[in-house]
Amino acid sequence: MNLSFFDQFTSPCLLGIPLILLSMLFPALLFPTPGNRWITNRLSTLQLWLLHLITKQLMMPLNKAGHKWALILTSLMMFLLMINLLGLLPYTFTPTTQLSMNMALAFPLWLATLLTGLRNQPSASLGHLLPEGTPTPLIPALILIETTSLLIRPLALGVRLTANLTAGHLLIQLISTATTALLPIIPTVSVLTALILLLLTILEVAVAMIQAYVFVLLLSLYLQENI
């Protein structure tokens, strides 16, 4: 059976049952089981340091009213980070290459930040739709433009994460296919292609971490606007 390059983004199934839920829950198994002691080994120390660093970076632009979102944002950051990194392993599936899943994460959280602002400070939240000092003839057009930009925020969040991870996976597969095909024909070029593949893999590890951070950071900035 001939496989296309996009078959790697198809959700795997076992006996007709999609395994995307299993692939989403698997990263949680990498965290140690809580015990009676705060720190049990070096791995726990490293994880606590990483959680502290992520929480500090995410809460920095927020005031005290937004610190109650720390658990949600930090958990989302770790969830996306682990899924993106595990998806780079061979014979794995990356759920965050699915636009439906990314939109299911982005839309409810964006809506929660918007409703928080409309409940706590409706005048300030609606004031973002019309910049101060706008000439009277431009008011209807600016309100329409600002409303549109506000409504496409969750779509931009989901599409950005999906597009970056999908493009990276496709590039890795294309270059690895070229490396394998060139090996019996032009070994020298194949070795150079393999070196490019190694550098691209390192780049994709960085992209996986950066995209998880950008996704959550933008949500925290949207939250800051509404609190």
Helix (H, G, I), strand (E, B) or coil at 206: helix
Residue 10 carries which DSSP code? S
Inform me whether the pLDDT recorded for 192 exceeds 50.
Answer: yes
Share of the chain above pLDDT 90, in %: 24
Long-range CB pairs of 61-70 (<8 Å, 24+ gap) are 61/220, 61/221, 61/224, 62/220, 62/223, 62/224, 62/227, 63/224, 63/227, 65/120, 65/227, 66/220, 66/223, 66/224, 66/227, 69/220, 69/223
N residues, the chain = 227
**Separation between Cα atoms, residue 109 and residue 115, nearest integer Å:** 10
Task: Give the helix/strand (H/E) hosting 88.
Answer: none
pLDDT tens figures, 6-38 = 666 777 777 767 677 777 777 777 666 666 666
Q: What is the pLDDT of residue 35?
A: 63
Which residues, at least 6 apart from 151, have a Cβ–Cβ distance to it below 8 Å?
A: none
Residue 88's nearest CA partner among 179, 203, 226, 213 is 203
**Separation between Cα atoms, residue 62 and residue 174, nearest integer Å:** 42
Query: CB of 20 within 8 A of CB of 98?
Result: yes
Q: What is the pTM of this model?
A: 0.83
Instruction: Name the packing angle between helices 70-86 and 42-59 (round to 10°).
Output: 120
Q: What is the pLDDT of residue 157?
A: 93
